[in-house]
Structure 1
Amino acid sequence: MHKNSALQRVARFAQGLAAAGALVGAIAPLPARADTAAAVPPLVRIVVPFSAGASNDVIARALAPGLARRLGANVIVENKPGAAGAMGADFVARAPRDGSVLLLTSSTFLTAAATQPRSPYDAIAAFAPVAMVGNGPLLLAVSAAKPFHTPAELLAAAKARPGAITYGSAGIGSLGQMATELLSDAAKVRMMHVPYKGASNALLDLSAGQIDVMIGNYSSMAPQIRSGKVRALAVTSQRPSAAFPDLPALGATVPGYEMDIWVGVLAPAGTPAALVQRLNREINDTAASSEMRAVLDPDGALPQALSPADFAARMKQELAQWKRLAVEHKIVVE
């Protein structure tokens, strides 16, 4: 009888363990699933849709080491240039939705989307905005051979002689063209667009006095500005920039005008929200590091710790603005 009682107690204990195990098995996967949703693969590729050495490429390569440390993963940069950035963006749009492939791009992503009706992807629906790395002004600059020393002088000449003032850009639908057309609308003037195959070609003619004016970032214009062949007149923001203390804000001359350029990271649409949030935190922290500031500071760009939702809202607002401008000015990239 004693032996049977012992066996019965052992059996009841085993049944209790089995029941507890079943309960633990039902509960344990819950945190594991949450961790998995925010986990990144061991290799993360940041795709830059422009050539090596371009400003976006420089920022991506500065971002990668710090992001790798924070993610505990290998982060590499791949250049996939072509079709004004569309080839690299399309590659990312079709990539796995697991954080293994990200797109580092800039405001040009939206001007291209607004002016390229045959784009292979929807700039909003095909991507999940992750984080904005930096945001800053462009420069309004003129050839030093021209007599303009203030934005007011330039715009007065443009108003007095509609279409006589020429401006250059990296091409039809480029950010430089769209920013200048936006300025023309705000100032109620008309300038003639001279498109080039790349900003460097436009800057050569600006330096030589073949064109009058151009809007671009400081990094690309710096050699010509330092040589004295190009004269910067203003930053394209509503307020002065600490990076360019000697330049006025263009918004002071043209009320309401503001043109900032951003650099940010996008993931393929459908990437898990928990993973997007984690990437947002890690990219924001990396962008605020001293290593990244050294890259962003020369252009007057500052880290911009937007949430994914706020970044998405800004992209939608800007795309609507560029689409309106493209329709009104008949700007189409065939």
Structure 2
Amino acid sequence: MPLTPLNRRDALRLAAAAATCALPGLAFAAYPDRVVKVVVPFAAGGATDIIGRIVAQQLGTSLGQQFIVENKGGAGGNLGAEAVAKGTPDGYTLLMGAMTSHATIATLEKGKVRYDLIKDFSTVAVVGRVPLVFVVHPSLPVKSMKELVAYIRSHPGKVSFGSSGAGAPQRMAAEMLKLQNKLQTENIPYRGSGPAVSDLIAGQLHFMAETIPAVLQHIRAGKLRALAVAGSRRDPSLPDVPTTAEAGMPDLEVSSTFGLLAPASVPKDVIQRLNAEVYKSLQKADVQALLAQQGVQVQSPITPEAAHEQLKAEVAKWAKLIAEASIKADE
């Protein structure tokens, strides 16, 4: 039967589809051919937002397409993460994730979170990590981590620490210190780092674990005393402050990890292209300088598969601590 104009178009469309299926890499050779949205699941101005904007700007420049940042905060990052997890898996909606925070919430709010962090996401790339630093009010008579532990032991139940949220890395670091040294100390939860740091400076709290950028100016001004950086190496902004390993606590390493995620079903070639472009940008000196201002230690290039293994390791690490320390989301 001869082809009519209508079924001729249908035939051509089917032939094109068949060719695409035969050569799957061609389906996304033009990616991205329209605007890409990068969801930041927290308010503007925070570390995740600033890191996300740096990454989005670099991807836009290298791929010749606009990458716009959309802040979708709420529920400790869950609202934005859920929106991406349930979005169209075409590579045009991505998540700038605070991987450590998402990983702790995955356990703390299990049954309430309406997405599976491991199954519903592909990890495009780990951008880097921001180590935490243990700080105390200057009036506290301690100048090292061991002295802090001794002080807490001699004042059981009377020493308090602040944290910026139930599942925040800041809280997890203090809980890890507490568990490893069998200490009795109280967590005072805040809605963000700013109010907690302010109360620590005012003497309403005794100590905190906080990201370096959030407290650096206060350390330099003498309003807070730094005891140790909870990272694998000393931080260049605090060269005289030892790591927790150097302070005699090698297992007390906590960083806030940031990475770019996508819905799990996004085609692999799109994930790989994004991965390559992220790490290409992270090798630039100017980009590293911008991220260093946020305290970010840049991740060396790794595959998407290796990046996803890091996400799995984060979930396992904090699930273990939360279980052993009996940490609750509402405490």
Please report the TM-score for the alignment, with normalisation by the length of structure 2.
0.87
Deviations 1:70-89 (A, max 9, x none): 22211111100101100100
In 1, distance between residues paired with 2:237 and 2:296?
5
Q: Which amino acid aligns with 2:217?
A: P
Give the structure 2 partner of residue 144 of structure 1.
138
Which one of the candidate residues 29, 32, 40 is aligned to 2:32?
Answer: 40
Give the structure 2 partner of residue 56 of structure 1.
48
**Unmatched 5+ residue regions in structure 2?**
1-15
Give the structure 1 partner of residue 154 of structure 2.
160
Query: Are residues 228 and 272 of structure 1, via their aligned partners in 2, closer, same or farther at CA, if it must alter by over 3 Å?
Result: same
Which one of the candidate residues 106, 112, 115 is aligned to 1:121?
Answer: 115
In 2, distance between residues paired with 1:72 and 1:35?
18
Give the structure 2 partner of residue 182 of structure 1.
176
* 1:41–1:99 Cα contact (<8 Å) kept: no
* 2:179–2:325 Cα contact (<8 Å) kept: no
Say whether residues 1:320 and 2:320 are aligned partners.
Answer: no
Say whether residues 1:302 and 2:295 are aligned partners.
Answer: no
* 2:57–2:67 Cα contact (<8 Å) kept: yes
- Pairing of 1:235-314 with structure 2 (within 5 A): 235-252=229-246, 253-298=248-293, 299-314=295-310
Say whether residues 1:194 and 2:188 are aligned partners.
Answer: yes
* 2:84–2:93 Cα contact (<8 Å) kept: yes
**Unmatched 5+ residue regions in structure 1?**
1-24
In 1, distance between residues paired with 2:182 and 2:304?
35
Q: Which amino acid aligns with 1:254?
A: M
* 2:104–2:168 Cα contact (<8 Å) kept: yes
Which one of the candidate residues 105, 129, 137 is aligned to 1:135?
Answer: 129
Give the drift of 1:294. Answer: 2.0
* 1:128–1:266 Cα contact (<8 Å) kept: yes
Query: Are residues 258 and 133 of structure 1, via their aligned partners in 2, closer, same or farther at CA, if it must alter by over 3 Å?
Result: same
Give the drift of 1:255. Answer: 2.6
Give the drift of 1:323. Answer: 1.4
Q: Which amino acid aligns with 1:218?
A: I
More helix by percentage: 1
Give the structure 2 partner of residue 102 of structure 1.
94
Give the structure 1 partner of residue 77 of structure 2.
85
* 1:135–1:304 Cα contact (<8 Å) kept: no
Query: Are residues 244 and 302 of structure 1, via their aligned partners in 2, closer, same or farther at CA, if it must alter by over 3 Å?
Result: farther
* 1:62–1:291 Cα contact (<8 Å) kept: no
* 1:176–1:216 Cα contact (<8 Å) kept: yes
Deviations 1:145-198 (A, max 9, x none): 222211121111123333322110012222111111112223333321111121
Give the structure 2 partner of residue 3 of structure 1.
none
Query: Are residues 219 and 242 of structure 1, via their aligned partners in 2, closer, same or farther at CA, if it must alter by over 3 Å?
Result: closer
Root-mean-square deviation over aligned CA pairs: 2.2
In 2, distance between residues paired with 1:224 and 1:321?
31
In 2, distance between residues paired with 1:302 and 1:103?
18
In 1, distance between residues paired with 2:254 and 2:194?
21
In 2, distance between residues paired with 1:260 and 1:104?
16
Deviations 1:30-82 (A, max 9, x none): 78631323522411111100111111111111222221122221111110010
Query: Are residues 188 and 329 of structure 1, via their aligned partners in 2, closer, same or farther at CA, if it must alter by over 3 Å?
Result: closer
Q: Which amino acid aligns with 1:313?
A: E
In 1, distance between residues paired with 2:69 and 2:81?
14
In 2, distance between residues paired with 1:184 and 1:247?
21
Query: Are residues 116 and 26 of structure 1, via their aligned partners in 2, closer, same or farther at CA, if it must alter by over 3 Å?
Result: closer
**SS of residue matched to 1:138:** strand
Query: Are residues 187 and 307 of structure 1, via their aligned partners in 2, closer, same or farther at CA, if it must alter by over 3 Å?
Result: farther
In 2, distance between residues paired with 1:77 and 1:42?
14
Q: Which amino acid aligns with 1:82?
A: G
Q: Which amino acid aligns with 2:282?
A: A
**What is the total number of aligned residue pairs between the two structures?**
311
In 2, distance between residues paired with 1:202 and 1:27?
59
Which deviates further from its counterpart, 323-332 or 198-207? 323-332
In 2, distance between residues paired with 1:136 and 1:161?
31
Give the drift of 1:26. Answer: 11
* 1:236–1:260 Cα contact (<8 Å) kept: yes
Give the drift of 1:241. Answer: 3.0
In 2, distance between residues paired with 1:300 and 1:272?
29
* 1:243–1:297 Cα contact (<8 Å) kept: no
Name which one, 1 or 2, has greater alpha-carbon Rg: 1
In 1, distance between residues paired with 2:202 and 2:33?
50
